[in-house]
Amino acid sequence: MNKKKSYIILLAILLFVLTSCINQVSKEVKKENTKAEVVKSEDKEEDKKEVEKKDDESKKLEVNSVMPIGYKVLVNSCDAEKILNYKKISIPENINDLKVSYSGIIDKDNMLLTLYNDTTIEDEEYYELIVYNITSSKYKSIFIAEKNEAYQLVTINNDYLVLRTSNDNWQSASIYLYTLKKEQLKKIFEYSKNKETDMVAMDNANNIVLKKDKIWFDDYYMDETGQVRANLYTYNYDTGEVKLFKKDAQNPLKYKGTVIYFVKDSEGKYRALESVDNKKVLDVKEDLVEITGFSDELFCIENRYTNHEEHYTEFQIKDLITKEPILYTTRSIDALRISDKFVTWFDYEKNTPCVYSIDEKQLAVFSNLPKGINVFYLKDNFGIFLNKHNGKYDYYYFE
């Protein structure tokens, strides 16, 4: 009997222990389920965030679908009509049976156009630079190129324009000044030649700066050791005198109401920007392709990256003062231009026209216009651009 009681007590203890274990397991399962629910809830929240992120990216992609081809844009962008006023203007495709090429802006009413002929082997080339009035459709001739003479319109302001010319395929070259009010064309400088080759020491595509009293320009020459060097010169409008301003200085720029230029740094490279009062402005570390300045702004096209194995280069448009890039691309770009309000450039391939607004710090994209070859010129707070597409030449004024 005592044995039977012992078995019953032992069984009761075992049942108690078993029940406790079951309860504990149940609690643990519930706890794990709760954790699982929390994790599941967190997963749902993460999924929701991921969906929202993808939606945001999708919206961004939708906005950026108007972006020009081949540009990685690093600033905000928008349709041009949101921040600019622009309109189509009428420019003839032919004048006096001559073709028309867009060459620059004098003011809101007057443009610079080049008239030229479609030549055959028997024909002589003809080039004439004219001022064309948009309102009256009248024009006046400024310059007619002589036989075999080539010219480049370098810069212009309200009073003067500057030309580079050559009649021997740029083996030699000169600078000409045209006075708009007097309608006078005058040769002011002839570039130096290499005595051994009887050719200009280097093709000069550097800036020429027009200021109120002087023109600033540079000249490459070869010294007695065979090294190509550069000197900075000025031309005085009133006296007609050319003066050497500084040796080993080149590429003048407008900046903060004065003129700055490149001088050699400690390594003997033209990478230091200096003002006319010999004060250091900036050390340029970028691999420059082109640089332009106006008011308080300095912008450049730089070689951002070159892949020698796959043979391509990324070019970047950049604010040299803030070091902030606007965009980069593997497309060929140049002709960087700047005004009070805008920065523009030339893309060698067809693309959607766009400009960078300095005030808005945005890329303004003319998304409703056709992709084409776009040529921009700027003046103060406005610009005019040519949109060449499908054999058509459309001109637009913007501000």
Residue 135 near residue 143 (C-beta atoms within 8 A)? no
Which pLDDT score, from 0 to 100, does residue 66 have? Answer: 60
Nearest-angstrom CA–CA distance, 178 and 184? 5
User: Phi-psi category of 248—alpha, beta or left, where left has phi over 0 and alpha has psi -120 to 50?
Assistant: left
- The bridge status of strand 160-166 relative to strand 94-95 is unpaired
For residue 23, name the pLDDT band (cuts at 50, 70, 90): low
The one-letter amino acid at 27:
K
Q: Identify which has the larger pLDDT, 96 or 215.
A: 215
The string of pLDDT tens digits covering residues 226-265 is 888 999 999 999 999 999 999 999 999 999 999 999 999 8
Query: What's the token pair of residue 368?
Result: 């409703």
pLDDT score, position 214 = 94
> What integer is the mean pLDDT of 333-360?
96
pTM of the entire structure?
0.79
Length of the chain: 399
Q: Which two tokens stand for residue 251?
A: 């590429």
Q: Where are the beta strands (DSSP E) in 53-126?
A: 71-73, 76-79, 86-89, 94-95, 98-105, 110-116
Residue 51 phi, psi (nearest 5): -65, -45
What's the pLDDT score for residue 57?
36
Q: How many CB atoms lie within 10 A of CB 222?
A: 18
Q: Given this model, what pLDDT does residue 6 score?
A: 52
Nearest partner of 87 among 389, 388, 387, judged by Cα: 387
Q: Is pLDDT larger for residue 127 or for residue 11?
A: 127
User: What contacts 236, CB < 8 A, 6 or more positions away?
Assistant: 213, 214, 243
Confidence label for 68 from pLDDT (cuts 50, 70 and 90):
confident
Distance CA 142, CA 99 (A): 17
pLDDT band, residue 216 (cuts 50/70/90): very high
Cβ atoms 350, 372 nearer than 8 A: yes
Residue 113 has pLDDT above 90, yes or no: yes
What pLDDT, on the 0 to 100 scale, is given for residue 328? 95
pLDDT at 300 over 90: yes
As a whole number, the mean pLDDT across the chain is 85
**Confidence bin at 37 (pLDDT 50/70/90):** very low
**What pLDDT, on the 0 to 100 scale, is given for residue 195?**
79
- Please give the span between the terminal C-alpha atoms of the chain, in angstroms, as a whole number: 112
Band (pLDDT 50/70/90 cuts) for residue 284 is very high
Residue 180 backbone dihedrals phi, psi, to 5 degrees:
-65, -45
Top-confidence range, 3-7, 13-17, 221-225, 367-371: 367-371
Contact 117, 125 (CB under 8 A): yes
